Amino acid sequence: MPELPEVETVRKGLEHLVKGKKIKDVAIFWPKIIESPNSEDFKTQLVGEEILDIDRRGKYLIFKLTHFDMISHLRMEGKFEYHKGSDPVMKHTHVIFKFSDETELRYLDVRKFGRFVLVPKDTSQIYKGLQKLGPEPTEEAFLLKGFEQELKKRKKPIKPLLLDQTLVTGLGNIYVDESLFRAGIHPEQEANTLTKKEIALLHREIIAVLGEAVEAGGTTIRTYQNALGDAGNFQVSLMVYGQNGESCPKCGAEILKKKVAQRGTHYCPHCQIYRVRRG
């Protein structure tokens, strides 16, 4: 489900609802959701832990516990719901964290792609998935100079390059299409053919679009009641994602959709022109 703005919105919701809660028990209905340790140890180690804080790095949530860091990735469709223990357990619920006050944090995931990992306290940065991440998409962390140097070295199309999280973290299929549109760059333009000017614009638009989406509480596409972080309204600000067949907000041309690196890709054929041999 989520890209950085949605995960950040979930983080804020969790901070509000479960910070300070003590874990009394854990129920696991789909053990593969637990990447490590094995689901039995995962449960045993969590009992008695208190949720001290909830951090985020890229699209990962990091629950800071008494003796552990619990890393959570929602992948495509993972979501958290906060419930009373007496509430009926809905379909697609795979993990339940039961608190000492008889409330529960439930993890639901239709496609079961999401993962949990438990590591010793303050060692989350060693986890492989977090280690590979590039800088957060902020002015302070994401530097134009480094971005430009990396792009010069890569010849793969810019869209899949931005999706791999190593140059900058947080973009997914929605915001990468929005960033490229706003910067006027074709999604298949090879990274090493981008001009200095285009790179600077792209850098600025990535930071801007993700920042605006965080402010809006993320984008809500499919609505699921009760899920933390589903109240975002950035979908009203999307300029190309899901807009195929509509008019380009800049020039009026028809927004097209095509496959790029196995992902549905939305773009304006007039504002985002592919050019051969540049840079």
Angle between helices 196-215 and 4-18 in degrees, nearest 10: 30
- Kindly list the residues in this chain that would bind DNA in the complex (CB under 7 A): 1-3, 6, 32, 58-59, 73, 75-76, 91-92, 110-113, 128-129, 132, 153-157, 160-161, 163, 165, 172-174, 191, 218-222, 232, 259, 261-264
- Comparing CA positions, the residue from 51, 59, 55 lying closest to residue 82 is 51
Pairing of strands 115-120, 34-36: parallel
Q: CA dihedral in degrees (125, 44, 34, 110; nearest 10)?
A: -120
Least Å distance, CB 137 to DNA, is 13
In the annotation, is 59 catalytic?
yes
Nearer to DNA, 67 or 275 (CB): 275
Smallest distance from DNA to CB 274, Å: 15
Smallest distance from DNA to CB 48, Å: 28
Query: Does 50 participate in catalysis according to the annotation?
Result: no
Compute φ and ψ for 192, nearest 5 degrees: -80, 5
Catalytic status, residue 88:
no
- For DNA, the closer CB: 8 or 49: 8
Is 92 annotated to bind ligand? yes
Q: Which of 11, 59, 106, 182 is catalytic?
A: 59
154 labeled binding residue = yes
Helix (H, G, I), strand (E, B) or coil at 263: strand
* Residue from 12, 112, 257, 263 carrying the catalytic annotation: 263
**Residue type at 45 in one-letter notation:** Q
**Of 2, 5, 137, 187, which one is the catalytic site residue?**
2
**Interstrand relation of 256-260 and 60-65 (parallel, antiparallel or unpaired):** unpaired
**What span, in angstroms and rounded, lies between the C-alpha atoms of 226 and 245?**
32
For residue 267, list its beta bridge partners. Answer: 256
In the complex, the smallest distance separating the C-beta of residue 100 from DNA, rounded to whole angstroms, is 31
Neighbours of 9 (CB within 10 A): 24
Nearer to DNA, 99 or 241 (CB): 241
16 vs 132 by CB, closer to DNA: 132
Q: Is 182 a catalytic residue?
A: no
As annotated, the active-site residues are 2-3, 59, 263
Binding residues: 92, 111, 154
